Structure 1
Amino acid sequence: MDFGLNGKIAIVTGGGTGIGNAIARTFSEEGATVVINGRDKARIEAAASAIGPNAHGVVADLMTAEGSEILAEQAGRLGPVSFLVNNVGVFDVNDFFEVSDQRWHEYFEHNLMTAIRITRIVMKDMLARDEGSICFISSEAAIRSIGNMVPYSVTKTAMLGLGRSLAELTRGTSVRVNSYMPGTTATESVETYFADLAKQQGKSVEETLRDFYREVQPSNLTQKLIDPALHGRGVIQLMTNAAMNGVTHRADGGTIRSIFG
């Protein structure tokens, strides 16, 4: 299927690894020019090279206004930005009562403010051109609130509110803003987490994952980690469907028991 991406410019924040990298690869495979960012020059350039000749790595820290401006400017030199995927984020398992104010602020900076800063720049230009599509990569944790990941769940819920609110600003235009909620995915960080957990428990990774789905996510219908490449296809489909605006697309393996989303 041709998604009409040839020659289009796409920014995928944090596209060097994980779900962001899978999304960036899919954009590139579909003919788009992709711009990814990171703070480590060697790492981000290597990631861009691995994606393909249509990928560009930009050293930019979106936790600063300057970094957001650098990313938008570098991408803009290639042409008008038609797609913006806000993917930067962090997660960890923690005790709510032990999470400091500073760590809460760090979560909001990583998971929300990075998206706000770059969107504020890119979306304004999209509205002026009356063309563009934005996607916020949230998480199924935004709805399935997780007790040992409270800061992560809260900031991902806030991201859904941000996406819907910004969609309201597109009324009557050809600009769209949507959100995407992936479930537990086989990214580098998640695989490392389960490998460390298996070691702590004296089990194999396979046993640890089996227990995870039985005890933590018994409602999950696939009972396995999601291939990041599947999210690449899902996000492309969401962002190129002109009938979808202000919605949240769920790709969580059926963990959330709902007929909606």
Structure 2
Amino acid sequence: MNIDLSGKTALVTGSTAGIGFASAKGLAAAGARVIVNGRNAAGVDKALKTLAAEVPGAKVVGFVGDLSDPKVCDQIVAEHPVVDVLINNLGIFELKDFFEIPDSEWERFFQVNVMSGVRLSRAYARGMADRKWGRIVFIASESGFNIPVDMIHYGFTKTAQIAIARGLAKRLAGTGVTVNSVLPGPTLTEGVAEMLKDEIARTGKSLEEAGAAFVMEHRSTSLIQRAANVDEVANMVVYASSPQASATTGASLRVDGGVVDLL
């Protein structure tokens, strides 16, 4: 399959590392002009240099700012008023017991994981519909179906993203704009590596081995019996962003290794 996004502009939020960076790389390799976003200039600059080195001829620009802030969302829309592919990847997670999560953390998770995508979708979807073409992808999680007992505040935001993507797909029916959510399972991102670092130090396991052990202990329904890598998730993101995915909308696209026990 030859995915060609030449002439399209893609915004990937939270794209200096992990799934966001891998998605930016995949979209750039498909010919899109990609806006790379991160909270600090050093991270954005590093991502841009890496993309330029790894994707010859990549058309990439940076935007520094925390897109959980409504004012920063307004700034990026003013600076980049036309976006054809919007990947709502910005997100945070944290292991914490329900009884230890204060109201402020519920609000922070909601603003970062949910409202950043709501605001940007609201800002860009009208233009996509006017041009009769567009792609919006929310990076949700299998945790939106399998709410983790140790991350309930995270799981609820992922359920919200899945619902928003489905509802917005209905709202944009017939416009040529598709809206989907991509649901990774446990994935070997920098955040997961940080979470597993003590286990790696204690046991001497590699990151992949520690990731597989985590999956089998905490996501025992996994059919691949390991954590995914970021490129495996990004492949789905690029496909959902492509012209070839024109009949795929309102879908929850699982890259969860079979963790979710649904047909």
TM-score over 0.5 for the pair: yes
Q: CA RMSD in A?
A: 1.5
Instruction: Report what 1:214 is aligned to.
Output: 216
Size of the alignment, in residue pairs?
254
Q: 1: distance between equivalents of 2:213 and 2:172?
A: 44
Instruction: Report what 1:125 is aligned to.
Output: 127
Q: 2: distance between equivalents of 1:40 and 1:221?
A: 37
Letter in 2 for 1:56: V
Letter in 2 for 1:55: V
Instruction: Report what 1:43 is aligned to.
Output: 43
- The within-5 A match list for 1:1-261 is 1-52=1-52, 53-76=58-81, 80-199=82-201, 202-206=202-206, 208-240=210-242, 241-259=245-263
Q: Secondary structure at the match of 1:97?
A: helix
Greater mean deviation of Cα atoms: 16-25 or 46-55: 46-55
Fraction of identical pairs, as percent: 33
Greater mean deviation of Cα atoms: 211-220 or 34-43: 211-220
Deviation string, structure 1 residues 169-228 (Cα, Å, up to 9, x no partner) = 1122111111100111111110111112444xx323356445423322221111222110
Letter in 2 for 1:23: S
Offset, 1:119: 1.2
Q: 1: distance between equivalents of 2:155 and 2:71?
A: 28
Letter in 1 for 2:225: Q
Q: 2: distance between equivalents of 1:156 and 1:197?
A: 26
Letter in 1 for 2:251: V
Unaligned segments of structure 2, at least 5 residues: 53-57
Offset, 1:46: 1.8
Q: 1: distance between equivalents of 2:101 and 2:147?
A: 17
Contact 1:126 1:175 in 2 (8 A): yes
Alignment TM-score, normalising by the size of structure 2? 0.92
Q: Secondary structure at the match of 1:144?
A: coil
Contact 1:9 1:75 in 2 (8 A): no
Offset, 1:60: 2.3
Q: 1: distance between equivalents of 2:84 and 2:213?
A: 42
